[in-house]
Structure 1
Amino acid sequence: MVYRSAAVCAAILASATPAAAETPILGPDAAHCAPGGGPAILVDITGLKNRLGTVRVRTFGGATSTWFDKTKWQTKVEIPTPRVEPIRVCMPVAAPGNYAIDVRHDANANNQTDRADGGGASGNPRVTIWDFIFGRKPSPKQTVVRVGQGVTEISVTMMYLSGTSLKPLSETGR
């Protein structure tokens, strides 16, 4: 009898997988993030305000001075906001090297950047509204993603405007 219970427990444990592994990998290049794939960045996105609108993920490479420049991205994926978290998006890169990622949630689905929208970047840097007003970009030292031959997984927590700071929802009291 104990043997059967142990066998049942072992079968249950063997079939259990982490939540992220059960979440599908999204984006037109999802196959690049399959086992043995790459080079690619697998971006796990959490902390969305709602399930409306779209989520946009961009990859930046090359000179760090061009990272987060609106016109200098290398890869862009835009998807309808999924209903479950984490949102996992595969971003292929041309070759191993240093990259940065930014994420935007068009939370009110109006296709414009406004106060309802959220954002985030690789390394989860803290930013303020003043950073946006004065065009200050996050530090490459904090946002760098070092990609090798395979798949590099990172996590980005979305931030939303609260006063003069952008904060994760857990810190805004919502």
Structure 2
Amino acid sequence: MIAKLLTAATLGAMGGLPAPAQAEILGSDAQACAGGQGPAIRVNVAGLKDRTGRLKLELYPANDEDFLKDDRDLVKEGKFFRRVWADMPANGAVSLCIKAPRAGRYALLFTHDRDGKNKFNFWRDGAGFPSNEKLGRSRPKLAQAVIAVGGGVTTTTIRAQYMRGLNGFGPV
């Protein structure tokens, strides 16, 4: 048994075992994460309901006043806002990238726009935040979305959640 483990470890170190599949990084900011340029956030998405529609990341200032505020209002007020869209890949792991203006705290929202209409449909579309807490039926709280971004690429995993009857949003 130990000999088999040592052999597998030796083969892995020598390149004899295949490396785990790396997800292609999606979105218009993909190069920032692929090249290790920062500050940026790489989001590995788990728990997608299906492979339809498009994926979106939105980055907001990390305060209650600006969290989930209309992007036109944020821009008009001279505040930071960034959005990245990506087409849903047919298969494989899903990873998206979004640039941040500088290291600091931000609020990050992921959505799965299943019908591709660019309007969130509570009954159909999915959403998620870095905390991965069950979203339920109430408006998400800032604390669920806050992420600390360093000077390089910060990686997080977000589990997509979808409406689950009267219990509100939850993982599939």
Question: How many Å separate the matches in 2 of 1:84 and 1:160?
Answer: 20
Q: Where does structure 1 differ by over 4 angstroms across 4 or more consecutive aligned residues?
A: 5-9
1:39: which partner in 2?
39
Q: CA-to-partner distance for each residue in 1:102-143, whole Å, 9 max, x for gaps? A: 1111223344322111111121132222x1xxxx33232x42
Is 1:144 aligned to 2:152, yes or no? no
Residue by residue over 1:121-168, the C-alpha shift from the partner in whole angstroms, topping out at 9 and shown as x without a partner, is 121132222x1xxxx33232x422111111100111111111122111
Aligned to 1:172: none
Alignment RMSD (CA, Å): 2.3
Give the direction of change, closer, same or farther, for the CA distance of 1:57–1:127 in structure 2 (3 Å limit).
Answer: same
TM-score by length of 2: 0.79
- Across the two proteins, how many residue pairs are aligned to each other? 155
Aligned equivalent of 1:79: 86
CA distance in 2, matches of 1:109, 1:82: 14
Using the size of structure 1 for normalisation, the TM-score is 0.78
User: Is residue 107–residue 142 contact of structure 2 (8 Å, CA) maintained in 1?
Assistant: no
Q: What residue is the counterpart of 2:156 in the other structure?
A: 154
Task: Determine the C-alpha separation between the residues in 2 that align with 1:117 and 1:64.
Answer: 24
1:50 aligned partner: 50
Alpha-carbon separation, structure 1, partners of 2:155 and 2:29: 15
- Which residue of structure 2 aligns with residue 166 of structure 1? 169
The amino acid across from 2:165 in the alignment is: G
- Residue in 1 that maps onto 2:116: 109
Secondary structure at the aligned position of 1:32 is classed as: helix
Which is further off, 56-65 or 24-33? 56-65
Q: Is residue 2:131 matched to residue 1:123?
A: yes
Distance 2:93 2:68 in 1: 23
Distance 1:11 1:86, change over 3 A: closer
Deviation of the 1:50 alpha carbon: 1.2
CA drift of 1:86 comes to: 2.8
Q: Which runs of 5+ in 1 are unaligned?
A: 170-174
Matched AA of 1:168: P
Per-residue CA distance 1:60-119 (angstroms, 9 max, x = gap)? 125343122232471111122112343111111110000121111122334432211111
Gap regions ≥5 residues in structure 2: 1-6, 75-79
